[in-house]
């Protein structure tokens, strides 16, 4: 045994390498709430409460929540190198084919589905190991790993390091498979602990999950999804509108560095300060986005009311649809309004002329139109 720390210890394994066995949460000695950490906790609690209030006052909160969830799905996958975007995800959901679509783009859609199912699940039951495994299966739906590892705790030793490195050269070697059930059981028990502030508990749980590293792949995404679900389940945030992955993506090296320092030196406080700062900044950004989305919607409503003349009523119907799914075709207008195809095409031209919609395919036939300004709020 070597390099023992407050977070756990590295234990020598028969293969000549050392694997890290995390200590149970909460940390011992207990978290030190110095002035900086306490101030960040207060700011984070206030910022997330302001966000929650802002979303609840939106006239069409469900539309904003749906777009925020899409943004988080895209950003969490981007951290792992999957270069999808909100534009693509909305188009994918709407069933509009994208030419030469990379198969990996489906990963953001899987994440979104897992977030939706998880958010529905935590209303009825606590976050458990079995729920986490269920969500992991959704993350891998349709992918090659699905055949032998989706939702299953890893049966082999894994490690993290530069490409091609051996296990003895690895930066971090998580616990051997035989420890996983016990470690997850202890983590699950910690989630029932009510002695710590919720944001502190969620920050500790995320870092612990990443250290346990229970699956062969997609541990990062699963752990980031865990943050969203715990905030909801513990009533810190009524809706999953916090896109914390944006902060992790922007500060990727610091994110990984703080997690590693926990293992090496037991620096839980450093990680929690980083995590709470992310809560503050992400909450503020999401609140600003909610305000801008509301203002944009009102500008569009005023434009349609003032400029669309006799077709303003149908134009407002179309606008409601756009804020649910910001891609549309002329045929959709026909189906919604009962207008002829020509009249619907004329209505579409009014949206284009006033800058609310633009053509997204560059094609003469089977054209698709997008609400650029609304999508841009979430990219």
| pLDDT given for residue 199 in this prediction | 98
Token output for 273: 């300060």
* 308-376 fold: Arc Repressor Mutant, subunit A (1.10.10)
d(CA 113, CA 165): 34
φ, ψ dihedrals at 105, nearest 5°: -65, -25
Distance from C-alpha of 158 to C-alpha of 170, rounded to nearest angstrom: 10
DSSP states of 49-65 as a string?
Answer: HHHHHHHHT-TTHHHHH
Taking only the tens of pLDDT, the chain with its 379 residues reads 344 689 999 999 988 899 999 999 999 999 999 999 999 999 999 999 999 999 998 988 999 999 999 999 999 999 988 888 888 888 877 777 666 566 667 888 999 999 999 999 998 889 999 999 999 999 998 776 555 688 899 999 999 988 889 898 889 999 999 999 999 999 999 999 889 999 999 999 999 999 999 999 999 999 999 999 999 999 999 999 999 999 999 999 999 999 999 999 999 999 999 999 999 999 999 999 999 999 999 999 999 999 999 999 999 999 999 998 899 989 988 988 888 999 989 999 999 999 999 988 776 677 889 999 999 999 8
Q: How many residues does the chain have?
A: 379
Q: What class does CATH assign to 2-289?
A: mainly alpha
Phi first, then psi, for residue 60 (nearest 5°) are -125, 60
Q: Is 310 exposed, middle or buried (0-12, 13-18, 19+ CB in 10 A)?
A: exposed
What is the DSSP track for 280-313? HHHHHHHHHHHHHHHHHHHHHHHHHHHHSGGGHH
Q: What residue has token string 């066995």?
A: 21
Structure tokens of 156? 């082999």
Closest CA to 197 of 377, 43, 373: 43
What residue ranges do the domains of the chain occupy?
2-289, 308-376
Residue spans of alpha helices (H) in the chain: 35-56, 61-79, 86-94, 106-121, 129-139, 180-190, 198-212, 219-233, 245-250, 252-265, 268-307, 312-322, 330-337, 341-353, 372-376
For residue 36, the tally of other CB atoms under 10 A from its CB is 11
pLDDT of residue 181: 96
DSSP, collapsed to helix, strand or coil, labels residue 206 as helix
First CA to last CA distance, the chain: 47
Task: Write out the two tokens for 213.
Answer: 């590293």
Listing DSSP states for 155-173 in one string gives: -S---B-STT--GGG-SB-
Q: What is the pTM of this model?
A: 0.92
Tokens of 201: 């508990």
Q: What tokens does 369 get?
A: 């139109």
pLDDT for position 16: 87
What is the per-residue pLDDT for 143?
75
The candidate with the shortest Cα–Cα distance to 20, out of 273, 265, 274, 189, is: 265
Please report the pLDDT score of residue 1 as a whole number.
38
pLDDT at residue number 103 = 62
pLDDT value at residue 282: 97
Buried b (16+ CB within 10 A) or exposed e, 83-114: ebbbbbbbbbeeebeeeeeeeebbbbbbbbbb
């Amino acid at each position: 045994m070597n390099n023992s720390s407050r977070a756990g210890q590295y234990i020598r394994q028969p293969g000549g390498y050392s694997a890290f066995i995390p200590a149970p949460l909460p940390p011992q000695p207990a978290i030190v709430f110095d002035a900086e950490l306490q101030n960040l906790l207060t700011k984070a609690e206030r910022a997330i409460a302001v966000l929650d209030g802002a979303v609840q006052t939106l006239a069409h909160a469900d539309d904003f929540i749906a777009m925020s969830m899409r943004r988080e799905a895209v950003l969490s996958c981007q951290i792992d190198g999957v270069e999808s975007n909100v534009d693509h995800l909305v188009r994918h959901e709407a069933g509009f084919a994208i030419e030469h679509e990379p198969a990996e783009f489906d990963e953001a859609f899987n994440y979104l589905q897992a977030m939706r199912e998880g958010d529905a699940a935590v209303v009825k039951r606590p976050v458990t190991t079995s729920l986490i495994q269920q969500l992991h299966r959704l993350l891998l739906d349709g992918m090659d790993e699905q055949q032998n590892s989706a939702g299953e705790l890893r049966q082999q030793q894994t490690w993290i390091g530069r490409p091609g490195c051996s296990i003895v050269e690895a930066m971090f070697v998580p616990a051997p498979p035989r420890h996983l059930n016990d470690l997850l059981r202890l983590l699950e028990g910690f989630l029932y602990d009510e002695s710590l502030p919720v944001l502190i508990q969620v920050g500790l749980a995320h870092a612990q999950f990443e250290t346990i590293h229970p699956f062969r792949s997609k541990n990062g995404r699963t752990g980031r999804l865990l943050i969203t679900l715990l905030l909801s389940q513990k009533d810190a945030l009524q809706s999953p509108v916090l896109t914390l992955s944006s902060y992790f993506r922007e500060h990727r090296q610091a994110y990984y560095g703080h997690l590693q320092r926990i293992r090496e030196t037991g620096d839980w406080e450093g990680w929690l300060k980083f995590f709470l700062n992310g809560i503050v900044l992400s909450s503020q950004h999401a609140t600003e986005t909610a305000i801008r989305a509301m203002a944009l919607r009102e500008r569009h409503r005023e434009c349609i009311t003032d400029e669309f003349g006799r077709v303003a009523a149908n134009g407002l119907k179309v606008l409601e649809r756009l804020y649910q799914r910001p891609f549309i075709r002329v045929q959709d207008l026909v189906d919604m309004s009962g207008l002829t195809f020509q009249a619907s095409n004329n209505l579409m031209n009014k949206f284009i002329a006033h800058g609310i919609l633009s053509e997204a395919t560059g094609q003469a036939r089977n054209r698709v139109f997008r609400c650029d300004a609304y999508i841009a709020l979430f990219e």
